[in-house]
Amino acid sequence: MSTIKVFINDKEYTVESDITIMQACDAIGIKIPRLCYHPKLAISSGCRICIVEVEGMRNFVASCSYPVNEGMKIHTNTDEIRKARKDILELILDNHPKDCNACVRDEVCELQQLASTIGLRERKFEGVKREKYVDDSSPSIVNNHEKCILCGRCVKVCAQIQNISAIDYANRGFNTVIVPAFNDKIANSICTLCGQCVNVCPTAALTEKNYTQDVFKILNDKTKIKVAQVAPSVRVAIGEAFGIPAGSNMEREIAHALKLLGFDYVFDSQFSADLTIMEEANEFLERLNGKGKLPMITSCSSGWMKAMEQFHPDLIDNVSTCKSPMSMMSSVVKSYFADKIGKKSTDIINVAIMCCVAKKYEAQRPELAMEDGAHATDYVITTRELAWMIKSAGIDFKNLKGQDFDAPLGLSTGAATIFGVTGGVMEAAIRTAYELATNKPLENIDITSVRGNEGIKEGSIEINGQEIRVAVASGLGNAHKLLEAAKKDPNKYHFIEIMACPGGCIGGGGQPYAGIRDLPFDPKLVNERAKALYKADELNKIRRSHENPAIIKLYEDFLGKPLGEKSHKYLHTHYKQKFPKGIIRKSKEK
Amino acid sequence: MTSHNQEEINTNLKIFIAEIIKQDRPDSHLITVLHKAQELNGYLSREIMDLVSQEMNIPTSTIWGVATFYHYFKLNPVGKYNISVCMGTACYVKGGSEVLTAVKEELGIEIGQTTEDLLFSLHEARCIGACGLAPVAMINDKIYGELTPKKIVDILNNLKKESENTQIP
């Protein structure tokens, strides 16, 4: 690594030679305001917010893309620069609605924060406003063009990270919009509803479809039994929305808050994650013994399931028939648990709190409905929506005493906790499959080869003398890569785990927005959340799904045996190809 | 427009694409391919863009973005008579926009659209180099100069009649 000398605001610094002005300034502790820039996405130098003055240059330069060179004299904070940035921001804002107080991103809006950073205190320009056009066709994602400032981060995350390219710029000039191909509605497009675009959107142009009002309404309905379930990764992220450091495990506070909100029962999706493992591990062993196709691919991630139907329909028979933990829980609540408390399934309203926006779509899938055609999961709200509900109900989340999830569907093992992080389902499945197949305890249950934040991971384990090769991918772009390799050589892997979001569910599209002036979609944040889940696994006395006493009892009392008749009725499903079919971009040289 | 049927059009386009993507950076030839597609098909239909997407391994959203960015690309079927009303400076000053309004009102279509009977399509042009005759319009390859709203309506009516007379019963 060679270094060079540069002058930043008249002080001399030694910096790496092959970095940009923005990186150099970051390194010395000056954070230049930025908008379209994101370290994980290609640089487009589009918004011009990050301009700086370089002595000898005719114009201000975009620091995100301009490389440093020897002796360069950079000024980040002159009067002219400050004024120019303010003008640029005003021009970005001049066709943006002035309805911050009534906006869903109020308080957590990057554009609002940027205006505050830049010191915008009056609006001089009054531009023509964009036409109000809201695409709320999908149950997961809403695209409100009126709020879009065309920064393009959504387009880039969809193309470069997810390799889906569901949306792109269309038209030109003032009429430019970001839409799916052919101006189709999101619901009719190849969008997988993963919600990564929502995570990186600086405004309320892309948001989840909000169901909080419906849920408040149902909570006030005394004729219904209200049942909540909470996904593993919600508990290690929700604190961020309350200013609690990333990676704090808030499961007891969440259970308490949900009770205060008015839920009659608060269950844990980790219970049904254990149940998923029971079914999935057994399904895998069956397939290994020749009954069904290999490699088997996991089916927990809703975004991945939609991507599979539209991008990889040839893999339908490879995908596990297990429903996701959310849908298994909802199904069990409306059957086994309804019986247990002497109620009909129609008396129960299932609300799932998920880190995910695609789960809202999953909840409405007809193939996951109960016998009477009603949805098993009635509402799905994201971590963000729950955080808002807690605040709106005046619950002092930080200072709650906390309580346990309700029995019996609230008890879970460490194996279930790690479902929230990439590689976790694989690790949990191996723990159980190994012991079921060999009748021997697995000596080291920390399967580190499938841990870590790499996009694609591989590992292997010996079961009864046979080498089982496994692979894990998170982020749909990585998934495409891994699956193309698996298609080329069908014997390469036995078992594949796919999660649609980078990092797994902890990086889901429904997780809290980045804190004030933090980076959205920050890998550091995701790492903290992952650490918290592995810690919870480690601290749990029971770390294998098949040792969960509540699961054992559920099989004794109700289900019979894994893959049995009742399991098939309540816990398994089939998927089919959906259109339009997406194309998988071949990876190209950078 | 060609008289080829759709299958022939698709085959010809596929052959064109197969040849062009052998070159370096195949993506960079998207515009060339869309030009060819429009030449063969008359306009860029959804089916044609899907075909280009499949053959070039480029997402449809990207193709849609390019197709909607350039005025040149037509997203609707083009009529038998393709009208371009010039809105260049000279024509504009001499009343081009009144001519354009007259066409819109007479045919009931907006810029970029085609009449339901597939007879007329309407576009605006940016100077076709006949400023001396301003305001002008171009219908297919023929230039009509010194137009007024009334004159252009008469021309349209004549074309309608001409088309009726040439139709085979």
Task: Check pLDDT > 80 for residue B166.
Answer: no
B61 interaction partners in chain A (CB closer than 8 Å) = 165-168, 179-181
Q: What is the mean pLDDT of residues A24-43?
A: 94
Which pairing describes strands B120-125 and B81-86: parallel, antiparallel, or unpaired? parallel
**Sequential DSSP letters for A94-137:** TTS-S-GGGSTTTTS-HHHHHHHHHT-------PPPPPP-EE--
Q: How many CA atoms lie within 13 A of A424 on its CB side?
A: 35
- Pairing of the two strands A51-54 and A61-62: antiparallel
Helix (H, G, I), strand (E, B) or coil at A408: coil
- Asked whether the bond before A408 is cis by omega within 30 degrees of 0, the reply is yes
User: Which amino acid is located at A244 in the chain?
Assistant: I
Per-residue confidence (pLDDT) for residue A517, from 0 to 100: 60
Q: What is the dihedral of CA A490, A492, A494, A496, to 10 degrees?
A: -90
CA–CA gap between residue A66 and residue A76 (Å, rounded) = 13
pLDDT, residue B167, reads: 65
Would you list the domain boundaries of chain A? Answer: 3-77, 124-208, 213-571
Q: What is the side-by-side order of every strand in the sheet holding A3-8?
A: A11-16, A3-8, A73-75, A51-54, A61-62
Confidence band (pLDDT; 50, 70, 90) for A524?
confident
- Model confidence at A190: pLDDT above 60: yes
Q: In angstroms, rounded to a whole number, what is the distance separating the alpha carbons of residues A408 and A378?
A: 21
What is residue A494's predicted lDDT score, i.e. its pLDDT?
Answer: 98
User: In the numeric block, which tokens belong to residue A194?
Assistant: 């993963």
pLDDT value at residue A252? 98
Region B52-69 average pLDDT: 97
Average pLDDT, chain A: 95
| Contact indicator for A527, A506 with CB cutoff of 8 Å | no
Confidence at A123, pLDDT banded by 50, 70, 90: confident
List CB contacts (< 8 A) between A197 and chain B. Answer: none
**If pLDDT is split at 50, 70 and 90, which confidence band does A589 have?**
very low
**pLDDT at residue A516 in the model:** 61
Sign of CA dihedral B35, B39, B40, B42: positive
Report CB contact under 8 Å: A580, B60.
Answer: yes
Closest Cβ opposite residue B61 in set A166, A586, A588: A166
Q: What is the structure's pLDDT at A588?
A: 54
Residue A587 has pLDDT above 90, yes or no: no
| CB A114, CB A88: distance < 8 Å | no
Distance from CA of B65 to the nearest CA of A (A): 4
Who contacts A289 (Cβ-Cβ below 8 Å, separation ≥6)?
Answer: none
- Choose from B27, B51, B61 for mutation: most chain A CBs within 10 A: B61
Instruction: Give catalytic status of residue A320 as yes or no.
Output: yes
Which residue on chain A is closest to B53 by alpha carbon?
Answer: A583
Amino acid letter at A353?
I
Q: Rounding to the nearest 10 degrees, give the CA dihedral for residues A438, A440, A443, A447.
A: 30
pLDDT tens digits along B92-139: 999 999 999 999 999 999 998 899 999 999 999 989 899 999 999 999
Q: Which helix (H) or strand (E) holds A208?
A: strand A206-208
Report the percent of chain A where pLDDT is more than 90: 93
Which uninterrupted H or E stretch holds A387?
A: helix A383-392
DSSP A312-343: -GGGGGGB--BPPHHHHHHHHIIIIIHHHTT-
Determine if the peptide bond prior to B169 is cis (ω within 30°): no
The string of pLDDT tens digits covering residues A201-226 is: 999 999 999 999 999 999 999 999 99
- A579 and B CB contact within 8 Å: no
Domain A3-77 class, CATH top level: alpha beta
Average pLDDT score over residue span A76-88: 96
* Chain B residues near residue A167 by CB distance under 8 angstroms: 61
Helix (H, G, I), strand (E, B) or coil at A242: helix
Interchain CB distance below 8 Å, A168 and B49:
no
Chain A nearest-CA distance from B146, in A, is 32
Helix (H) or strand (E) holding A565: helix A565-571
Q: Tell me, yes or no, if A159 comes closer than 8 A to chain B by beta carbon.
A: yes
Residues of B with CB under 8 A from a CB of A: 27, 46, 49-50, 53-54, 57-65, 68-69
Residues 161-200, chain A, touching B (beta carbon < 8 A): 165-172, 179-183, 190
DSSP calls for A440-464: S--S----GGG-SS-SEEEEEEEET
Distance CA A407, CA A341 (A): 12
Minimal-distance CA residue of chain A relative to B58: A585
pLDDT, position A590: 36
Kindly report, residue by residue over A93-119, the tens digit of the pLDDT: 988 998 999 999 998 999 999 999 999
d(CA A312, CA A333): 32
- At B141, the pLDDT band (50, 70, 90 cuts) reads confident
Residue type, position A130, single letter: R
DSSP conformational letter for A278: H
Provide the 10 A C-beta neighbour count for residue A69. 11
- Summarize the confidence of residues A444-472 as an average pLDDT: 95
Instruction: Please give the DSSP secondary-structure letter assigned to residue B116.
Output: T
**Nearest chain B residue to A183, by CA:** B64
Amino acid at site A95: N
Please report the pLDDT score of residue A131 as a whole number: 83
A182 contacts B60? CB cut-off 8 A: yes
Q: How close, in Å, is residue B49 to chain A by CA atoms? A: 9
- Answer whether CATH 3.30.590.10 is correct for domain A213-571: no
What is the reported pLDDT for A523?
82
Mean pLDDT, range A48-69, rounded to an integer: 97
pLDDT tier for residue A251 given thresholds of 50, 70 and 90:
very high
Buried b (16+ CB within 10 A) or exposed e, A373-390: eebbbbbbbbbbbbbbbb
> How many Å from the N-terminal Cα to the C-terminal Cα in chain A?
21
Q: What is the spatial distance between Cα A186 and Cα A139, in angstroms, rounded to a whole number?
A: 10
Active site residue A362: yes
| Neighbour-count burial for A554-563, b at 16+ CB within 10 Å, e otherwise | bbeebbeebb
Answer whether 0.90 is exceeded by the pTM. Answer: yes
Check CB contact of A590 with chain B, cutoff 8 Å: no
A367 is catalytic: yes
Order of strands across the sheet that contains B81-86: B120-125, B81-86, B137-139, B142-144
Bridge partners of residue A545, in order along the sequence: none
Residue A189 φ then ψ, to 5°? -105, -175
* Spatial separation of the C-alpha atoms in residues A165 and A152, rounded to whole Å: 12
Judging contacts by C-beta atoms under 8 Å, the chain B residues touching residue A588 are: 27
Q: Searching chain A, which residue's CA lies closest to the CA of residue B48?
A: A182
HEC string of A59-88 equals CCEECCCCECCCCCEEECCCHHHHHHHHHH
pLDDT in tens, A550-563: 999 999 999 999 99
Nearest CA in chain B to A166: B61
Residue of B nearest to A186 (CA): B61
Q: Which residues of B touch A183 (CB under 8 A)?
A: 64
Measured CA to CA, the distance from residue A418 to residue A232 in angstroms comes to: 7
Give the pLDDT confidence score for residue A460 in this predicted structure. Answer: 95
Query: For position A129, what pLDDT does the model report?
Result: 85
Residue position matching structure tokens 């499949």: B54
- Place B1 in a pLDDT band, splitting at 50, 70 and 90: very low
Q: Distance, in angstroms, between B154 CA and closest chain A CA?
A: 34
Q: CB B5: neighbour CB atoms within 10 A?
A: 8
Local confidence band at A1 (pLDDT 50, 70, 90 cut-offs): confident
**CA A295 from centre of chain:** 25
Residues 6 or more apart whose CB falls under 8 angstroms from that of A579 comprise A310
| Topology of the domain covering A124-208 | Alpha-Beta Plaits (3.30.70)
Written as six digits, the tokens of A467 are 């080498």
What is the spatial distance between Cα A153 and Cα A168, in angstroms, rounded to a whole number? 10
For A310-348, give one letter per residue: b (16+ CB within 10 A) or e.
Answer: bbbeebeebbbbbbbbbbbbbbbbbbbbbeeeeeebeeb
Nearest CA to A499 among A446, A421, A431? Answer: A421
The pLDDT, as a whole number, for residue A464 is 94
Half-sphere exposure of A236 (CA within 13 A, CB side): 26
Chain A: nearest CA to B138, how far in angstroms?
A: 25
Write the burial class of residue A55 (CB in 10 Å: 0-12 exposed, 13-18 middle, 19+ buried): exposed
User: What local confidence, expressed as pLDDT, does residue B59 receive?
Assistant: 97
Closest CA to A350 of A232, A229, A190: A229
Q: Is the pLDDT of residue A470 over 50?
A: yes
Bridge partners of A54, per DSSP, are A74
Q: Does A583 touch chain B (CB under 8 A)?
A: yes
Alpha helices, DSSP H only, in A489-548?
A: 523-539
Per-residue model confidence (pLDDT) at position B54: 96
Whether residue B53 and residue A580 make contact (CB cut-off 8 A), yes or no, is no
Nearest to B57 among A169, A179, A586 (CB): A586
Nearest partner of A218 among A340, A342, A350, A333, judged by Cα: A350
pLDDT band for B2, please (50, 70, 90 cuts): very low
Say if the Cβ atoms of A159 and B64 lie within 8 Å: no
Name which of A158, A162, A168, A190 to mutate to probe chain B: the one with the most chain B Cβ atoms within 10 A of its Cβ.
A168
Q: What are phi and psi of A561, to 5 degrees?
A: -135, 160
How much is the CA Rg of chain A, to the nearest whole Å?
A: 25
A159, A171, A182: residue with CB nearest B46 = A182
Phi, psi of A23 (to 5 degrees): -65, -40
Query: Which one of A25, A47, A300, A356 is the catalytic residue?
Result: A300
Amino acid at A355: C
